[in-house]
Structure 1
Amino acid sequence: MNDLPLNAGYWDDLYQQQQTNWDIGYVSTPIKEYIDQLARKDMAILIPGCGNGYEAEYLLQQGFTNITLADISPLLTERLADKFKRYLHRQLSIITADFFTLEGQYDLIIEQTFFCALPPTLREAYVAKMHSLLKPGGKLVGVLFSRSFEGGPPFGGNIQEYMDLFEPTFALQTLASCYNSIKPRAGLEVFIIAQKDQA
């Protein structure tokens, strides 16, 4: 699990140097519109590889009360603790850790530019870990890139790859091109809703 992109120092350096080209500065439209449909404000929500926490900010604005952010970068999680200090240890928890060491059980896990930050060799481990972190009936929901990149991170993929990867473990409720991506990413994103079996 110690490939360079998973190293805390690697991500600290990127945030320190503000080399965060994936950061659009707000919650992405596909995830915002999904959140807008959620009625249960006390569901346990995890956002791994949370970056600057725009999804959490939006969830808090909408009255959600049980949010956990996780990131491997101590520099980042310190900034988030300051940014969200009025919510910390109340509606919001922040964990500094490698994703693969996380524990707990969640109703919903939000995926936004975390999957693409992991080397493709870790994708099967990602799927297994996501499954273990979800409660029965819980959902992994978010956006995956539908394109390839030179080098990486980010690392890309396509719908068929994702279907082959997720279908053995999850019930795929949605795996389709996003119709509501922001303009620079139009036609380059896939929306996924993958549900863990109830029993």
Structure 2
Amino acid sequence: MDTYWTDRYKNSNTPWDMGSPSPPLTAFLQKLVHKDQEILIPGAGNAYEIEWLHKNGFTNAYVMDISQIPLDNLKSRVPDFPDSHLLFGDFFGLDKKFDLIIEQTFFCALQPNQRKDYVKKMAEIIKPGGKLAGVLFDFALTEQGPPFGGSQEEYEKLFSPYFTIAKMERCYNSIKPRMGSELFFELIKP
């Protein structure tokens, strides 16, 4: 499907991989009450957050990636993770709807010219009253990447036509290499 990302995994060229769930996302996930809500983590890589959700009783958590390798990695770590919740394919072709979508390094991995399409697709697949929440990078947008950066002002402009911005603030609990360069956000679809 996508050789760029598959080649990165084959060559262990995955500097974004923390080897565990992101602290800002774990803090958010720990506050979730409804364990039967439909949750998606797109472009999730090795999906440590979906593993956390699964092990904590969330029964409708899905993960999607354009490379099969990280999905296989998740399945080898969590053999009882449902195969039907491992979505291999292009996010932009997804037609299922979700209550909550978790953003974890997917947005910053897309080419900047895909950002408007990302926002429109999110608005399309999140149920009314549902949320898009997660972490965005807060550093100057560069032409070389991924990851590609951005600013709170840019993100607010991009998301506000489609979502109510409930929260967008600097993460207080980023891992050391990312401290000061991550924004945690929660958006609600009207």
Q: TM-score, normalised by structure 1?
A: 0.91
**Deviation digits for residues 68-124 of structure 1 (CA, Å, limit 9, x no counterpart):** 1100002232333333331214xx600111110011111100000000000010000
What is the CA–CA distance in structure 2 between the aligned matches of 1:80 and 1:88, rounded to whole Å? 11
| Alignment match, 1:189 | 182
What is the CA–CA distance in structure 2 between the aligned matches of 1:29 and 1:76, rounded to whole Å? 20
| Alignment match, 1:131 | 123
Contact map agreement 1:8 1:74 (CA 8 A) in 2: no
What is the CA–CA distance in structure 2 between the aligned matches of 1:32 and 1:79, rounded to whole Å? 20
**Unmatched tracts of structure 1, length 5 or more:** 1-6
1:35/1:127 CA distance change after superposition, 3 Å: same
**Unmatched tracts of structure 2, length 5 or more:** none
Runs of 4+ deviating beyond 6 Å: none
Amino acid at match of 2:54: L
Match of 1:22 among 16, 29, 38: 16
What is the CA–CA distance in structure 1 between the aligned matches of 2:3 and 2:86, rounded to whole Å? 18
Contact map agreement 2:47 2:70 (CA 8 A) in 1: no
Matched residue SS, 1:57 = helix
1:22/1:49 CA distance change after superposition, 3 Å: same
Match of 2:145 among 132, 139, 152: 152
What is the CA–CA distance in structure 2 between the aligned matches of 1:66 and 1:88, rounded to whole Å? 9
Match of 1:81 among 60, 75, 78: 75
Matched residue SS, 2:62 = strand
What is the CA–CA distance in structure 1 between the aligned matches of 2:95 and 2:175, rounded to whole Å? 33
What is the CA–CA distance in structure 2 between the aligned matches of 1:79 and 1:27, rounded to whole Å? 15
Amino acid at match of 1:47: I
Q: TM-score, normalised by structure 2?
A: 0.95
Q: Which of 120-129 and 175-184 deviates more?
A: 175-184
Q: Which of 45-54 and 72-81 deviates more?
A: 72-81
**Deviation digits for residues 31-68 of structure 1 (CA, Å, limit 9, x no counterpart):** 00001111111010000001001001111121111011
Instruction: State the 1:184 CA deviation.
Output: 1.5
